[in-house]
Structure 1
Amino acid sequence: MTTQDTPHTPRGPRWLQRYTQLAPTRRNLTVSAYVIAASFADGFGIATLLPMIAVLGDRSAHHSALANTMLEMLHKVGIAPDPRILLGLVVAGTLIKAVLILLSLRQIGYAVADVTAKLRVQLVNGLIGARWSYYVSHASGRFSNALSDEATKAGQAYSAAMLMLSQIIQAVVYIGIAALLSWKLALFALLVSAIMLGSLNRFVQTAKRNASIQTRLLRTVLERLSEVLLGIKPLKAMARDGHVVQLFKKDLGDMQNAARRQVFASNANRALQEPIIALCLAFGIFAALRMLNMPLGEVIVMSLLLAKTALVVGRSQQQLNELHSSEPGLKSVQRTIAETLRAADPPGGGATPRFTRRIEFDDVSFAHGKRPTLQHVSVVLESGEVAIVTGPSGAGKTTFIDLLLGLYVPGSGEVRVDGTSLRALNRTQWRRQVGYAPQEVILFHDTVTANLTLGEAGITAQDLEDALRDAECWQFVQELPEGMDTVVGERGGALSGGQRQRLALARALVRRPRLLILDEATSALDPATEAAVIANIRRRATRDGVTVLAVSHHPAWVREADRVLRMQAGRLSIAAPGDTHA
């Protein structure tokens, strides 16, 4: 990922830089140019009202410096002071503004889609590239929320920021035109803007605070819900699913209350803007006519400028409200992206792994935090060997495998492949030589083919068939309604436990790995099927030189093993081949 793609703490005008950096500078400048041009076109149309009023017969308008200046400008460019022409200029200014604003909105719309897609790509890349320890310390529901709701809110926040910037630009242009007409008018326009911003700021802050509360609670609810859904089957089997609802009630109730407060604050902000504008406008007209004795033409233009200024200031505050409502989502997804980048899986060294001889654990120790998991483990696995790891739960078997995969780095000692430290090897290339079937079967809501290939184009139909036959699932796959194109359901729910396990084993075999790691990969199989699978794997090991490391307590595996490794309290010992009591 490039430097510009990496979320960082903005400097300078923080709100402006935080959002403009989400989209390309060229697009932001294009939007700004459209809005500035639209504002000047609108301002020119408003200013043209003065000479038009003067031409129509208002004598007081002839004493207006701005009216005389506009008439002189029109005369220099050859435009006659005809009321119809002047009216046409007023209409043209309004239409040009509308067209330019539409063009700017189209650019903002494109940018919103780009920003949302960009953040989602960054998040997916960051998650896929994170090290294993990052996944085990975070709930998966958090990432689903970041990818869907928070990324969408990030796009909405960018849209609100750019629309707010557009309104600010228009307000500046209108106040500038007011200053040309009268410095007192410009000062009054600024005063009206300050009154609106100050009087309604409380509602903006209330909406901001409650939007943050909702974002935090939604993340918590989705994290918990994803965990509940993963374990919904035993909950239903024990009729405890109804009790789980109680876990959500408080958070959902708090979300409801926060949503009510946010909606009320947003609507109150919008509802109070109109009376504030009306009161300020009425006072301004009264002061201009009775106290300042301004010409009627200037009062009409002043009223339009005040109304437009107040309207765009009000709209900018509404956009600020939308910005605060969406900003927590943007900040949250950016924090998650930054976390994944900090947790990136190190690529290891640059050496190319060549596993043709042996794998060696040389006095390897490892601890999760302060708890030792492996202690001074030394063992050699020869190429083409079938080795079995046994031992009680918590003895360190899975950690032993994780160190071999490079998911963890030894606290001391070395893991070597053909004499080269695993730290020095390119880990991606090393893992491409591995087939892995974990204890917890993970299948996707997709076809059998997609679950085996995982989108890899180089896997052939013959590779698929060989893997399915060796995993003893070719026959049952052929009997499925759509064969290889049958969708297996969420987490493989349309299949039995044994069928899911065999498909996971086929996925580990389909790339013809040099090292096959099986973590209780046949625990759900009946004895006859398990024996057939073990025989097929043994045949592969002998024929292709595949090294097999299987974690299992089943006697069938122990009988077929060249060596049995006994793990006890983080220490490894060698049992006799064929020892079914290992």
Structure 2
Amino acid sequence: MRNVLRIFLTTPGPAKWTAVISLIVAGFAESIGLATLLPLLTTAMGDANDPSPVSRMVREGLAMIGLPADLEILLAIVVLGVTVKAVFVMIAMRHVSYTMADVATYLRTALVRNVAAVEWRYFTHQPVGRIANALSLDANNSARAYLLATMFLATLIQSAFYVVVAFFVSPRLALVAFVTGMLLILVLQPLVRISRKAGKRQRARTEELVTLLSDTMGNIKPLKAMARQEHFAHFFDEKISLLRTAIRREALSNLAMKNIREPILVMLIAVGFLATRNSLEIGVPELLVMALILQKTVSTMGRVQQQLQTAVAVSAAYWSVRRLIEEAADQREDLSGEVAPTLRTACVFDNVSFAYGDEPVLDRVSLELPARSLTVLTGASGSGKTTIIDLLLGLHRLDSGEILIDGIPQSRIDLRAWRGMIGYVPQELTLFHDTVLANVTLGDPAMTEAEARAALEAAGAWDFVERLPKGLQTIVGERGSQLSGGQRQRIALARALIGKPTLLILDEVTSALDPETEAALATKIHSLAAEHTIVAISHNRALVEQADRIYDLSRAGARLVDAAE
């Protein structure tokens, strides 16, 4: 129960309290209507000497405002009470509905912003499917969890008002109603625990399935090429079977709650009613009202239990998203540098050392990347080429040594501004299933079609883009599958150039190209060095031949290679 109420309390925004106040007013209005039923029935039956304290309170209250306690007035109060309750419940639910949508939006926005701001190492240990599942299914279930938590609170408030009304009718009735409701809750509590565990398992199995699906879709081509998709499908069947088991357990506990609750509820109401009736000397009107209040109180407390069961089943999604947001917030990247960056002379690595955990990658490496020139890094796999790029981007912190940008230590540089000066084309480039324009601008509304065309022209891509069926508005397909390798590389290069970068970083951009396309792209890259500082990782001869400076990396360090070599 505590975790369900925490979902309500931790939800941002004032609308939830408007909902609570509306529910309290609704409960109070219904209580007035219920309390008026007793004098209404006694008046209708012609009993003018009603001894009930509730009747006396109602009659005295009406007398204070100058109204007679006749049948019409009492009936109007009952109708008004029910009407006011319905109006304020609608007001409450309106705010709850709006807040429900806000909850999903808030969680998605907070997750995206926090994940975007984390240190790079966070992504190297985080399954993409976990984040995808949190943004889609878990965020929706979180909104549902908030709705159920609010409904649970509303029913709890309603139960409290029923107990108060029962107390004024008869303290013994209130005690019987409360004890009967608590017995119902205790009897059905094991089913709530089953739902909680089943909900957690279902969320975990769904996350595993989404993660596996995300990884599979990224590698579907080699699976089909080797006829391995059937074997992999069996792996999916195993995960789906585990998910099915969790869903069955949750469904079974929900059905058990619904079907077991009703006979237990009727039995407890009957016992409570008989216990109250046999111990009190009361008239028929009071007996009818007592029966109604007892039924409403115990039934509402039963609904509290049912709503709690449904809420705990989906609450795992809410807390999972919150944990993911907090994890990302705890690993927020430090961007505390204050010096505005420039790149007029060079970037210098001065005795730089770096290790991934206990595995050293760079050991006292020194090299210089002159401004407005093309520097190419070569070397065997694992020699640290990509690590040098990552350090230059500020994605990792050095173990020792310094990186100097125009003579200023990188640790003092405003890292956000520094990255804003960089255009980057990774080795494993990915195009989105969107238009050429969206892939070049990355959806930035400030970038125009004219700027996109200029970037495509600079990358040598405009000629083929112009010939596409819809030009800039042509959909490139999943991961750019509608384009050739060379065309994808050029669009990725245009994406890096559209921001007019000072530093252009290229990681094996010609590795998957045929010799003719590679030579053309290498020539294009070299021509860009007149206006940009370019650092490229490459083993291909065409780009190495165009380089102004070449470094060969190995475990021994970085060796400056003579162009003749």
- Equivalent residue for 1:571? 557
Q: One-letter code of the match for 1:207?
A: S
- Equivalent residue for 1:371? 359
Residue 145 of structure 1: which of 128, 133, 155 is its match? 133
Q: Distance in 1 between matches of 2:81 and 2:222?
A: 69
Q: Distance in 2 between matches of 1:110 and 1:570?
A: 62
Tell me the CA shift for residue 570 of structure 1: 6.3
TM-score normalized by the length of structure 2: 0.97
After superposing the two structures, state which structure 1 stretch, 274-283 or 457-466, moved more: 457-466
SS in 2 for 1:94: helix
Tell me the CA shift for residue 22 of structure 1: 0.9
Q: One-letter code of the match for 1:389?
A: L
* Residues 375-419 of structure 1, C-alpha deviations (whole Å, 9 max, x = no match): 111011111121111111111110011011111111100111000
1:505 matches 2:493: yes
- Equivalent residue for 1:233? 221
Alignment of structure 1 residues 33-182 onto 2, 5 Å = 33-57=21-45, 59=47, 62-182=50-170
* Residues 421-449 of structure 1, C-alpha deviations (whole Å, 9 max, x = no match): 11111111111111111110111111111
SS in 1 for 2:68: coil
- Equivalent residue for 1:23? 12
Tell me the CA shift for residue 18 of structure 1: 4.1
Residue 464 of structure 1: which of 452, 461, 478 is its match? 452
SS in 1 for 2:476: coil
Tell me the CA shift for residue 226 of structure 1: 0.6
Say if 1:376 and 1:76 are closer, same or farther in 2 by CA, change over 3 A.
same
Contact 1:435 1:511 in 2 (8 A): yes
Residue 519 of structure 2: which of 524, 531, 540 is its match? 531
- Equivalent residue for 2:287? 299
Contact 1:167 1:312 in 2 (8 A): yes
Tell me the CA shift for residue 572 of structure 1: 1.0
After superposing the two structures, state which structure 1 stretch, 430-439 or 246-255, moved more: 246-255
Say if 1:172 and 1:486 are closer, same or farther in 2 by CA, change over 3 A.
same
Q: Distance in 1 between matches of 2:485 and 2:70?
A: 87
Tell me the CA shift for residue 458 of structure 1: 4.3
1:549 matches 2:538: no
- Equivalent residue for 2:392? 404
1:354 matches 2:342: yes
- Equivalent residue for 1:8? none
1:445 matches 2:425: no
1:248 matches 2:208: no
Say if 1:290 and 1:463 are closer, same or farther in 2 by CA, change over 3 A.
closer
Q: One-letter code of the match for 1:199?
A: V
Tell me the CA shift for residue 578 of structure 1: 4.2
- Equivalent residue for 2:312? 324
Tell me the CA shift for residue 17 of structure 1: 3.7
Contact 2:431 2:479 in 1 (8 A): yes
Tell me the CA shift for residue 335 of structure 1: 0.8
Residue 290 of structure 1: which of 278, 284, 287 is its match? 278
Contact 1:171 1:312 in 2 (8 A): yes
* Structure 2 gap ranges (5+): none
Q: Distance in 2 between matches of 1:511 and 1:39?
A: 59
Q: One-letter code of the match for 2:176?
A: F
Say if 1:171 and 1:462 are closer, same or farther in 2 by CA, change over 3 A.
closer
Q: Distance in 1 between matches of 2:356 and 2:66?
A: 84
- Equivalent residue for 1:189? 177
Q: Distance in 2 between matches of 1:284 and 1:331?
A: 39
* Residues 11-61 of structure 1, C-alpha deviations (whole Å, 9 max, x = no match): x9654344212132x322211111111111111111111111221235496
Say if 1:58 and 1:254 are closer, same or farther in 2 by CA, change over 3 A.
farther
1:561 matches 2:547: yes
Q: Distance in 1 between matches of 2:379 and 2:184?
A: 72
Q: Distance in 1 between matches of 2:246 and 2:544?
A: 59
Q: One-letter code of the match for 2:12?
A: A
Aligned residues: 565
Tell me the CA shift for residue 297 of structure 1: 1.5
Q: Distance in 1 between matches of 2:58 and 2:500?
A: 82
- Equivalent residue for 2:302? 314
Contact 2:206 2:243 in 1 (8 A): yes
SS in 1 for 2:206: helix
Tell me the CA shift for residue 285 of structure 1: 3.1
Q: Distance in 1 between matches of 2:128 and 2:371?
A: 37
Q: Distance in 2 between matches of 1:336 and 1:118?
A: 14
User: % of aligned pairs identical?
Assistant: 38
- Equivalent residue for 2:208? 220
Q: One-letter code of the match for 2:180?
A: V
Q: One-letter code of the match for 2:549?
A: R
Q: Distance in 1 between matches of 2:97 and 2:450?
A: 47
After superposing the two structures, state which structure 1 stretch, 396-405 or 448-457, moved more: 448-457
Tell me the CA shift for residue 473 of structure 1: 1.7
Contact 1:41 1:96 in 2 (8 A): yes
* Residues 42-101 of structure 1, C-alpha deviations (whole Å, 9 max, x = no match): 111111111112212354961222212222222222222222321222122112111111
Q: One-letter code of the match for 1:351?
A: V
Q: Distance in 2 between matches of 1:13 and 1:281?
A: 27
* Residues 121-167 of structure 1, C-alpha deviations (whole Å, 9 max, x = no match): 00010111112111111111110100011111111111111111111
Q: Distance in 2 between matches of 1:460 and 1:170?
A: 57
Contact 2:4 2:315 in 1 (8 A): no
SS in 1 for 2:443: coil
- Equivalent residue for 1:205? 193
Q: Distance in 1 between matches of 2:35 and 2:519?
A: 91
SS in 2 for 1:216: helix
SS in 1 for 2:551: strand
Say if 1:221 and 1:14 are closer, same or farther in 2 by CA, change over 3 A.
closer
- Equivalent residue for 1:419? 407
* Residues 212-235 of structure 1, C-alpha deviations (whole Å, 9 max, x = no match): 011111111111111111000110
RMSD: 1.7
Q: Distance in 2 between matches of 1:497 and 1:115?
A: 42
Q: Distance in 1 between matches of 2:30 and 2:69?
A: 19
* Residues 444-465 of structure 1, C-alpha deviations (whole Å, 9 max, x = no match): 1111111111133444444433
SS in 2 for 1:48: helix
Say if 1:292 and 1:458 are closer, same or farther in 2 by CA, change over 3 A.
closer
Tell me the CA shift for residue 528 of structure 1: 2.5
Q: One-letter code of the match for 1:38?
A: A
Residue 471 of structure 2: which of 476, 483, 489 is its match? 483
TM-score normalized by the length of structure 1: 0.94
After superposing the two structures, state which structure 1 stretch, 566-575 or 222-231, moved more: 566-575
Tell me the CA shift for residue 484 of structure 1: 0.5
Say if 1:548 and 1:426 are closer, same or farther in 2 by CA, change over 3 A.
same
Tell me the CA shift for residue 283 of structure 1: 2.4
After superposing the two structures, state which structure 1 stretch, 172-181 or 562-571, moved more: 562-571
